[in-house]
Structure 1
Amino acid sequence: MAAGIRDVAAAASVSVGTVSNVLNAPHKVAPATVERVHAAIDRLGFVRNDAARQLRAQRSRCVALIVLDIGNPFFTDVARGAERRASELDLTVLFGTSDDDAARERSYLDAFDEQRVFGLLVSPVSEDLSRMITLHARGTPVVLVDRDAAGTPFSSVAVDDVAGGRLAAEHLCSTGRRRLAFVGGPRTLRQVRDRLQGAQSAVAECAGASLEVIDTDELSVLAGRSAGEGLQARAPEERPDAVFCANDLLAIGVLQALTLMGDVHVPRDIALIGYDDIDFARSAVVPLSSIRQPSTQLGTAAIDLLAAVSEGAEPQRIVYQPELVVRASTTVP
């Protein structure tokens, strides 16, 4: 008969509760007692040897990936890249979506900490990384995804979003557009702020150009549709002649409002460009120009960075350069 937790407790001369604490919260138990309980576990074969090693290391073979919105195809591709690379390293990826909610993000961090995950891949909601810093200090490897880790103790893999925003605005200006609008939000997200900053810098260097900022509460199709309806309702002379959206989901929503619910022609009346280059961008009713990110590669690189950190490597920051993809939404025949 296999040994049970009561057998371990008897062999180590401790209570069943103490054995439970050693397995689940060893920081609550005196080091000498932890050693005695683990010796009894090994002697009795209470768990498989591999599992016992994991318990002693307080680490599983699961990696936690927390993204802003798993419903966004960009993050789906990031997750796919992470999952494929993790399987090659005998790791399993657990997913969580914060929905741009700091409290929800913290709840996931706490839950995955209780599971003693191998490490954390996180696309942060805000600048407050204190909970992740605490976990890092306690020995849980953390890698930031789609966010540069400058000024933090973490490794990171990201895209230069300032450069991406500049690319988008420069392209619109190069087609002769001068009344530009930026649609995106919330601005608590670093990605949104950086893309806006890049666009602003490009517009400042374009003679006669201006940039209106239209804030949204989220990076979704519905938020884009609402912004588009607002533009469609304006008099033609009061509308921008080009719109740069902080992601493709917003751009698709804007496109729906302008072309399917109104009489605005894209790109003749308003040129439109998005960000991420998700699959839906090329198949939209008017194929969308976009700023491409290497989404699957971000996930693959994040797992590699996590594996390196777990082996004691110094933090690394990988920053990819974005790519302009021109389609019909910004090109007048």
Structure 2
Amino acid sequence: MRTASIKDVANHAGVAVGTVSNVLNYPERVASKTRERVQASIAELGFVRNDVARQLRAGHSRTIGLVVLDIGNPFFSSLARAAEDAAAEGGNAVVLGNSGHDAGRELHYIDLFEEQRVQGVLISPVKDITARLKALVARGTKVVLVDSPAQEGAFSSVSVDDISGGFMATKHLLDIGRRRIAFVAGPQEFHQVTDRLTGAMRAVAQVPGATLEVLQASDLTVLAGRGIGDALVARESLLPDGLFCANDLLALGVMQSLTMLNTLRIPEDVALVGYDDIDFAASAVVPLTSVRQPTTLIGRTAIELLTEQLESPEAGPRSVVFEPELVVRASTGA
């Protein structure tokens, strides 16, 4: 059965093809009775607009590309949901790409989104890809960095002050009397990890007698955190009395290891702090103290920054940096 065309709808409703086009794209320009007649014909014929053709004429689609580092991390899934909700309010849709911390896969999604003529690309980059993104912008696709500050104001960006977050997490451990602090780091090519470590170092430097050890995890996952916890349990040298993990998934993995083996108590032996304040943090076996990022605000602000660029192309890039918040729970004795 042949799919109904816009011409079929026009003939069925007794109007010009241009009138049908206006009903689809600018309904306010069409008289209400004519609009209703066209809409009735669309419903009766089962007409579905060809959005690919519309994109070719307009030069872009109603979609926005979003590339995140790890959709398995609840921080990014919550961020994506917030961006999706904000985009929907403007009649747009978000198409998600998960780089999985893979730079090659990230570039594949950028190429794919450009081919699809998306309105813009929101991206949490694996590493510095300024040159590739500048080329994207030069060809007409807007870019907003998410959870990452832009270098030298090259792009609009929305991020959180992770140095401040690392400082407040570590200072909290020091304030409750812990002096042998360890930072559980994920791969340090991610600026989020290095910034949080920088904040931790600044806090420790302010307290005489305090020390900071870096425990290198293989990834930013629960499984990698369990590996760190297992290593601590098996360790014969002096243990840290305060642990600050680069994200909540690592912290939950450490907690699983320590509580399952019943060797080290939280917080009596080791006080534990995570980062992101994902939903699982509050419901952990020992409710987790964490540094909260305003996930919903980050996602919605990314869409707002993209909309600004689309509506005012002459306006320069704008960066928004949010302050994190320490949420204290039982894992540090609250």
So what's the TM-score if we normalise by structure 1?
0.83
Counterpart of 2:125 in structure 1 is: 124
- Give the letter aligned to residue 162 of structure 2: D
- 1:231-250 matches, within 5 Å, as 231-235=232-236, 238-250=238-250
1:165 is displaced (CA, Å) by 0.2
Counterpart of 1:147 in structure 2 is: 148
8 Å contact 2:276–2:290 — kept in the other structure?
A: yes
Question: What is the SS of the residue equivalent to 1:162?
Answer: helix
1:50 is displaced (CA, Å) by 7.4
8 Å contact 2:286–2:331 — kept in the other structure?
A: yes
Quick one: distance in 1 between partners of 2:295 and 2:234?
35
8 Å contact 2:153–2:317 — kept in the other structure?
A: no
8 Å contact 2:55–2:117 — kept in the other structure?
A: no
Matched residue pairs, number?
A: 289
Counterpart of 1:214 in structure 2 is: 215
- Give the letter aligned to residue 252 of structure 1: L
Deviations 1:99-157 (A, max 9, x none): 11111111111111111111100001012332212101111000000011131421001
Quick one: distance in 2 between partners of 1:262 and 1:131?
49
Quick one: distance in 1 between partners of 2:50 and 2:129?
39
Residue 77 in structure 1 maps to residue 63 in structure 2: no
- 1:30-179 matches, within 5 Å, as 54-179=55-180
8 Å contact 1:232–1:262 — kept in the other structure?
A: no
So what's the TM-score if we normalise by structure 2?
0.83
1:262 is displaced (CA, Å) by 3.8
Quick one: distance in 2 between partners of 1:56 and 1:308?
23
Deviations 1:73-95 (A, max 9, x none): 11111011101100000010001
Counterpart of 1:259 in structure 2 is: 259
- Give the letter aligned to residue 153 of structure 1: A
1:324 is displaced (CA, Å) by 0.5
Counterpart of 2:318 in structure 1 is: 316
Quick one: distance in 2 between partners of 1:2 and 1:177?
72
1:57 is displaced (CA, Å) by 3.7
- Give the letter aligned to residue 295 of structure 1: T
Instruction: Rate the CA distance shift 1:179–1:112 in 2: closer, same or farther, 3 A.
Output: same
8 Å contact 2:242–2:270 — kept in the other structure?
A: yes
Gaps of 5+ in 1: 5-46
In percent, how many aligned pairs have the same letter? 56
1:70 is displaced (CA, Å) by 0.7
Quick one: distance in 2 between partners of 1:160 and 1:283?
26
Counterpart of 1:301 in structure 2 is: 301
8 Å contact 2:159–2:320 — kept in the other structure?
A: yes
Counterpart of 2:28 in structure 1 is: none
Counterpart of 1:203 in structure 2 is: 204
Quick one: distance in 1 between partners of 2:268 and 2:59?
60
8 Å contact 1:65–1:94 — kept in the other structure?
A: yes
- Give the letter aligned to residue 307 of structure 1: T
8 Å contact 1:141–1:306 — kept in the other structure?
A: yes
8 Å contact 2:179–2:210 — kept in the other structure?
A: yes
1:51 is displaced (CA, Å) by 5.9
Counterpart of 1:194 in structure 2 is: 195
RMSD, aligned CA: 1.9
Question: What is the SS of the residue equivalent to 1:74?
Answer: helix
Residue 280 in structure 1 maps to residue 280 in structure 2: yes
Gaps of 5+ in 2: 8-47
- Give the letter aligned to residue 330 of structure 2: A
8 Å contact 1:276–1:293 — kept in the other structure?
A: yes
1:233 is displaced (CA, Å) by 0.9
